[in-house]
Structure 1
Amino acid sequence: MTIDSRRYDSRDDVPLRGYAALAATFGAGVALFSAVAHRRGIKLPERVPPWDVLLLGTATYKASRLLTKDKITSFVRAPFTRREEDTSAGEVMDEPRGNGLRLAVGDLVSCPFCTSAWVAGALVGSYVVQPRAARLVGTGLTVVTVADWLQYAWTLTQQKAGG
């Protein structure tokens, strides 16, 4: 079976092979993690408390935004994206560039929704192996998220008081 992007999209620029390579890489990473964890006798938790789900979810949200939208992390995205514009709160809009795998990676690293699956995989894997460390990292990212909300609230309060 061949992957023909021309039959998939009228623009002929969807990097289906690149997407397939990324999906295979993600799947291989999960399989490798599972095999190593099993070999080392690491047991899955019987249950994950709701607070941990909320913590990991918030941390996944923030880490995904930091990786895909933050000015300071643009050096990670630069080989695969082009800066389109600066937006509010130190975030930027990057557009994927290139073709094939480079374009697929550009799509991944410029999309917080796409990146969140990878971040969640890393955080959940960390939670299985070292729950305390994963909670600490999750707490740090959650604290940054709360601080962001407070920054927005303060800015809104200033705007309403001044106007």
Structure 2
Amino acid sequence: MTESLRTRLSRVGQSYAPHDHRPLGGYVAAMGSFTALAASLATAAKVTGKPAPERPATADVVLLSLATHKLSRLIAKDSVTSPLRAPFMRYTEPAGAAELNEEVRDHDSTLKHGVGELISCPFCLAVWVAAGLTGGLVLAPRLTRLVATALTATAVSDFLQLAYDAAKKAAEGD
């Protein structure tokens, strides 16, 4: 009888991290989904005849970097996007600057647990967001640059707000 993939991953996960639950099945699903996303973007570029640039412009790299940072944090940490994370996460406390601290819910499903870890981690999401924005830059460059510009302006504004607050506290002697 053939051992199921789920059973095999569970057994490997137990030997991999005997004292900590690691949702390897969820991670496998996430890697498969990311591969499907990348393949879909490459296929769409080929079908539409829109080639990837030989060398991305430095301005686009900077724009997409800042936009990736902002969109990743917006999805993973922002109060307003908490309804997207709620099925997978549990609120624990405010984290300041309109962000939340949350923990992954206890799930019977390694897929739900893996999704929870993915959508609550701005570092993990950055890979997905960067892939989407980079694909958008090939497939719909004007729209992607416009969206990335708005996200970049918001990210720069966030840093300026924090710098203003720090300068204000320093001036008041706090």
Q: TM-score range by the shorter chain?
A: over 0.9
Q: 1:104 aligns with which of 114, 128, 153?
A: 114
The answer on 1:14 being equivalent to 2:17 is no
Alpha-carbon distance in structure 1 between the residues aligned to 2:46 and 2:56: 19
Alpha-carbon distance in structure 2 between the residues aligned to 1:74 and 1:42: 36
Alpha-carbon distance in structure 2 between the residues aligned to 1:35 and 1:6: 37
Q: CA deviation at 1:133?
A: 1.3
**Kept after mapping to 2: 8 A contact 1:5/1:12:** no
Kindly report structure 1 stretches of 4+ aligned residues shifted beyond 4 Å: none
Q: CA deviation at 1:154?
A: 1.1
The answer on 1:117 being equivalent to 2:127 is yes
What TM-score, normalized to structure 1? 0.95
Other-structure match for 1:5: 13
| Counterpart code for 2:145 | R
Tell me the SS of whatever aligns to 1:48: coil
The answer on 1:81 being equivalent to 2:89 is yes
* Paired-residue identity, %: 42
Deviation sequence 1:100-140 (CA, Å, 0-9, x none) = 11100000011000000110111001001111211111111
Q: 1:32 aligns with which of 36, 40, 43?
A: 40
| Runs of at least 5 residues in structure 2 that lack an aligned partner in the other structure | none
Q: CA deviation at 1:27?
A: 0.1
Alpha-carbon distance in structure 2 between the residues aligned to 1:146 and 1:33: 29
Alpha-carbon distance in structure 2 between the residues aligned to 1:144 and 1:29: 26
| Runs of at least 5 residues in structure 1 that lack an aligned partner in the other structure | none
Alpha-carbon distance in structure 2 between the residues aligned to 1:133 and 1:46: 20
Other-structure match for 1:158: 168
> Which stretch of structure 1 is more off in the superposition, 114-123 or 90-99?
90-99
**Kept after mapping to 1: 8 A contact 2:44/2:139:** no
Size of the aligned set, in residue pairs, is: 163
Q: 2:52 aligns with which of 37, 44, 55?
A: 44
Tell me the SS of whatever aligns to 2:156: helix
Tell me the C-alpha RMSD between the 2 structures: 1.2
Q: CA deviation at 1:7?
A: 0.8
